Structure 1
Amino acid sequence: MDSVTIAGVDCGTNSIRLMIAEVDAHGLHVVTPRILRIIRLGEGVDKNRRFSDDALQRAYAAVREFAEVLSRQHVDSLRFVATSATRDAANRNEFEDAVESILGVRPEVIPGSEEAALSFLGATATLHSKQNQSQNQSQTPPQAHMRDHAPYLVVDLGGGSTELVVGGDGDAVPEYQVRAGFSMNVGSVRMTERHLLADPPTEAQIEEATADIDEHIDEAFTRIPAQDVSTIIGVSGTVTTMSAIAMGCQSYDRHAVDGARITFDDVLKADDRVLRMSRKERGTVGAIHPGRIDVVGGGALIWTRVLTRVASAAATQGRHIDSFLASEHGLLDGIVLDRGRKMLADNI
């Protein structure tokens, strides 16, 4: 068996995504471009520890749509992964049973550590592929990759949690191997529902949210070597949305954003501006998906704090970080690659 076709579903707190791709020795090749639906499955979960009926119905509608897409494709394996909100919901069995009845597979509710590792795999495998392609073609690498070197930090900023994963230095630990990871229980939906309740949020609410985020980052930094980081790769809807705004995109352009290098100066200004906007004002910003309007400010604040704190930690070791790479590749790519590689290995 030289290749396998894998369908992957990434079901998060705010969105659900489907991608179908062929996996072979050279990596991942997309068959059906990723489909994104904003379902807000985690609405109220931080407070109530349960999925609401409305949230479940939104999720089931998306899953039925995915089932229709899958009925028209041949796939060797389907993997459905659920993350932060599902980990926290007391009635998750109801959700899992319904998904299994629609798709024929039961959701894997993975721990934050596995989510972090899969996000790192998806983000760095794509980076590795692009760098190899540039070298094989004997061309100067794109500017977005000219200063990229290990150790990499992949940040997957979701609706309910944010994963921070550091890879190796290329010496003691291979640069594309996870060295340490940590999942923080902070995300765009969670911070908005917990702190940023006014429209627009008040200064006091922003300060409370910042303190909450920093407390989680403090804990994360006891688990990951943030001071060793050389390159930051940001994935997820919040990161790519804020990247598009920082780049001045009038509407969201995934091709422009994917692989772009964004300076801290540009994105921190964009983060602060969006955080302090009313929801009505955010609705006029073409790069923001309508399903993110109410929570993207919370995500922007998390992104600001993560970038600021990592840069400060790296500076203690003489490392200067003033930009990051935006990536459209993360957990979903990792889900598909991981399953595909395991299937190929089992058939060798």
Structure 2
Amino acid sequence: MTGTSATNAVNATNPGAVTVAGIDCGTNSIRLKISRVDANGYTDVLPRVLRVIRLGQDVDKTHRFADDALQRAYAAAGEFADLLAEHHVDGLRFVATSATRDAANREEFEDRIEGILGVRPEVIPGTEEARLSFLGATSVLGPEQDGTVPAPPYLVVDLGGGSTELVLGGDGVDAPADDVTAAFSMNIGSVRMTERHLLADPPTEEQIAEAVADIDEHIEEAFRTVPAERTGTIIGVSGTVTTMTALYMGLPEYNHSAVDGRRVPIADITAVNDRFLRMTREDRRAYKTIHPGRIDVVGGGALVWSRVLAKVAERANAARGEGTVTSYVASEHGLLDGIVLDYGRRLLAAR
């Protein structure tokens, strides 16, 4: 996809800028963002548009995309194509993650998406997903409401439907704080844990215990690659993290600006996570803060989030002293932001 005269006219006042679109197609949702990227970062032209499509429905069990999941994805892609036609971008990057990596019939999906949007989905490995999530999360990191600056090294946790990435950055001394020093992608997420373990409504204690054992095993494997004991600040990105943060805050409806940058004590969010994990789906529907597409899987995501927080804090506090890590920072910026920023920079460098 190339720029049109409309785009070039917009960028004529800033020849060092490009207008790019990014699509992040995950296990549970698909998201579009259009941004203008220059040497200073990016400015949104069209803020994030999200549709919950549950592309990963039953993929953990069947290793194939379900027909109805594909139809939901194609409908969302058609909607995005209409939006892109209105904005005339210089380029589009479509990134697909965990569910697409695991699906045997992914070529069918890729062919159809290319027919709708004119670009072929780029199925990225977990390590690239981790790098882009870290880039997006740290690109806007700044002083908090009380003026304090989050302490490096940063551990970005991108908790998706099918996978969860742990990405550690430098300490700002021996390595730049915004450089990735270690990353690992775990095959655990809100959809995968729900479909694998949390089958009852509400889940039984036995199912929860089985899920905890599964999650903890993956976290310990990740820690062999990512030295979580070095963590200075945990940054949580993705729908699960921001949804649970909004529920902790008691928001009557979801509010992006209120959640973004909010620091939350680990002990407090763990209590909220436990409460919503053990709710029935019908009880969760009473909370307008939860997107309807997350009602049945948010408990599984909350459990993953609790275990990651507990394990990271345990490691960091044991290595660096109690009180080193007692909270996390919620971020509205992650993989999608990293996609547009990285792609825009590459287009600028090629000029």
Report the TM-score range of the alignment, normalised by the length of the smaller protein.
over 0.9
Q: Which amino acid aligns with 2:39?
A: A
Structure 2 residue 259 is matched with structure 1 residue 257: yes
Q: Which amino acid aligns with 2:240?
A: T
Corresponding residue for residue 250 of structure 2: 248
What secondary structure does 1:117 align onto?
A: helix
Percent identical residues: 65
For the 8 Å contact 1:24–1:340, the answer to whether it is kept is yes
1:56-84: CA deviations, max 9, x gaps?
00000000000000011110110000000
Is residue 229–residue 320 contact of structure 2 (8 Å, CA) maintained in 1?
A: no
Quote how far apart the aligned CAs of 1:171 are.
Answer: 1.5
Q: In the aligned structure 1, how far is the partner of 2:205 from the partner of 2:57?
A: 24
User: What code does the residue aligned with 1:4 have?
Assistant: V
Task: Return 5+ residue gaps in structure 2 as ranges.
Answer: 1-14
Q: What residue in structure 1 maps to residue 123 of structure 2? A: 109
Counterpart in 2 of 1:68?
Answer: 82
Matches of 2:252 and 2:60, distance apart in 1: 33
Matched residue, 2:194: 192
Counterpart of 2:59 in structure 1 is 45
Question: Per the alignment, in what secondary structure is the counterpart of residue 42 of structure 1?
Answer: coil
Find 1:125's aligned residue among 139, 150, 160: 139
Question: Is 1:212 matched up with 2:214?
Answer: yes
Give CA deviations for 1:15-51 in whole Å, capped at 9, x if unaligned: 0000000001110100001100000000000000000
Within 5 A, what are the aligned runs for 1:290-301? Answer: 290-301=292-303
| 1:246-294 deviation per Cα after TM superposition (whole angstroms, max 9, x unaligned) | 1111111111000111111221111000000000000011211110000
Q: Return the offset for 1:146.
A: 1.3
1:205-248 C-alpha deviation (Å, 9 max, x unpaired): 00000000000000000000100000000000000000001111
1:4 alignment counterpart: 18
**What does residue 97 of structure 1 align with?**
111
- Shift of the alpha carbon at 1:147? 4.7
Give structure 1 stretches of 5+ with no counterpart. Answer: 132-140
Aligned residues: 335
Contact 2:21 2:34 in 1 (8 A): yes
Q: Does 1:322 align with 2:326?
A: yes
Give 1:266-277 correspondences, 5 Å limit. Answer: 266-277=268-279
Distance in 2 of aligned mates of 1:303 and 1:241:
11
SS at match of 1:79: strand
Q: What code does the residue aligned with 1:194 have?
A: R
Q: Is 1:342 aligned to residue 336 of structure 2?
A: no
Q: Work out whether 1:54 is the aligned partner of 2:56.
A: no
- Stretch deviating more after TM superposition (313-322 or 204-213): 313-322
| 1:181 aligned to which of 180, 183, 188 | 183
1:142 aligns with 2:145: yes
Pairing partner for 1:160 from 159, 162, 172: 162
Q: Distance in 2 between matches of 1:173 and 1:346?
A: 27
Note the aligned Cα RMSD (angstroms). 0.9
| Distance in 2 of aligned mates of 1:201 and 1:36 | 28
Structure 1 CA distance for aligned equivalents of residues 301 and 50 of structure 2: 18
Moved over 6 A (4+): none
Secondary structure of the equivalent of 2:56?
A: coil
> Does the aligned pair in 2 maintain the 1:250–1:287 contact within 8 Å?
yes
Code of the residue aligned with 2:92 in structure 1: it is: L
Matches of 1:124 and 1:153 in 2, distance apart?
10
Amino acid at match of 1:274: F
Whether the 8 Å CA contact 2:276–2:299 is kept in 1: the answer is: yes
Out of 91-100 and 146-155, give the one that drifted further.
146-155
How far apart in 2 are the matches of 1:287 and 1:142?
Answer: 23
Judge conservation of contact 1:15–1:40 (CA < 8 Å) in 2: yes
Distance 2:78 2:268 in 1: 40
Distance 2:195 2:113 in 1: 26
Could you tell me whether the CA contact under 8 Å between 2:159 and 2:237 is conserved in 1?
yes
In 2, Cα distance between equivalents of 1:167 and 1:295 = 29
Q: What residue identity is the alignment partner of 2:209?
A: E
Instruction: Work out whether residues 247 and 262 of structure 1, in 8 Å CA contact, stay in contact via their aligned partners in 2.
Output: no
Kept in 2: contact 1:51–1:91 (CA 8 A): yes
SS of residue in 1 equivalent to 2:32: strand
Amino acid at match of 2:344: G
Residues in 1 aligned to 2:251 and 2:158: alpha-carbon distance in whole angstroms? 22
Distance in 1 (alpha carbons) for counterparts of 2:174 and 2:125: 27
Alpha-carbon distance in structure 2 between the residues aligned to 1:248 and 1:51: 36
